[in-house]
Chains A and B, each alone.
Chain A
Amino acid sequence: GDSVTQMEGPVTLSEEAFLTINCTYTATGYPSLFWYVQYPGEGLQLLLKATKADDKGSNKGFEATYRKETTSFHLEKGSVQVSDSAVYFCALAYSGAGSYQLTFGKGTKLSVIP
């Protein structure tokens, strides 16, 4: 079945450091890919998405490129801030006439220290 694998956390970075969170997927078709973020005490919210190969999703300084050849969707940010401390989830879903179920990775906790 479909699955998403994320790098193990937690990840601790100093403010202004470069961030990479690796995400790879296994899928039978051509899914859309997502990064969701969960701030402390809150529900998940969509950070960015990509719907086809070579698409780049971006939001709030974060970027991720849909790489079909390596089945990856790594999250990057050039300079993290303390406010980026959260848990980040990579996910995939198929679009179409049916339901829109998301398959999530286990999440990567990021802590940014001043």
Chain B
Amino acid sequence: NAGVTQTPKFRILKIGQSMTLQCTQDMNHNYMYWYRQDPGMGLKLIYYSVGAGITDKGEVPNGYNVSRSTTEDFPLRLELAAPSQTSVYFCASSPRAGLAGGPSYNEQFFGPGTRLTVL
């Protein structure tokens, strides 16, 4: 299993350009997430998805869009890049909850990240 893969690893954009960050997981996980990590800060959730066709906003969704047409893929779209979007972006996935009455905890599996610079 490759786990969670992200492309590209690095990208430099000009203000106003658009791009899509790709994320794919091969673990058949239901849940997928996009985070951004700014220097010296923890991760902030941008969007998440609980299954194909279902997405929802996280803490910092402005300036981003997502879609989830398949279980495996969860691309993140930046329509009009701004310097404030300079960050490292991580995609993650996690399996559905355990059975009723059993342990139920969240281990998220992270991709290696995409370093994006907007100039």
Instruction: Kindly provide the distance from the CB of A23 to the nearest chain B CB, expressed in whole angstroms.
Output: 12
B12 interface hit (Cβ, 8 Å): no
Contacts of A113 in B (CB 8 A): none
Question: Which stretch in A14-22, A72-80, A97-105 binds the other chain?
Answer: A97-105
- In the complex formed, the residue of B with least CB distance to A106 is B42
Report how far A45 CA is from B109 CA in the complex, Å.
7
Number of A-B contacts (CB under 8 A): 67
Verify if B82 is at the interface (C-beta below 8 Å from A).
no
Question: A97-B97, A100-B94 are known contacts. Are A89 and B112 too (CB-CB below 8 A)?
Answer: no
Of chain B, the residue at the smallest CB distance from A104 is B42
| Chain B residues, CB < 8 A from A51 | 103-105
A93 to B45, alpha carbons, bound, how many Å?
13
User: Which chain A positions have C-beta within 8 A of B40?
Assistant: 106-107
The number of chain B residues with a CB under 8 A from chain A is 27
Q: A43-B112, A100-B94 are in contact. Are A32 and B105 (CB under 8 A)?
A: yes
Q: Within 8 Å CB of B111, what residues of A? A: 43
B97 is contacted by which of A34, A95, A102, A105 (Cβ under 8 Å)? A95
Chain B residues, Cβ within 8 Å of A49: 105, 107
Q: Evaluate contact between B97 and A89: CB separation under 8 angstroms.
A: no
* Residues of B near any A CB (own CB < 8 A): 4, 31, 33, 40-43, 45, 48, 50, 56, 58, 90, 92, 94, 97, 103-113
A interface residues (Cβ-Cβ under 8 A, vs B): 4, 32, 34, 41-46, 49, 51, 89, 93, 95-102, 104-107
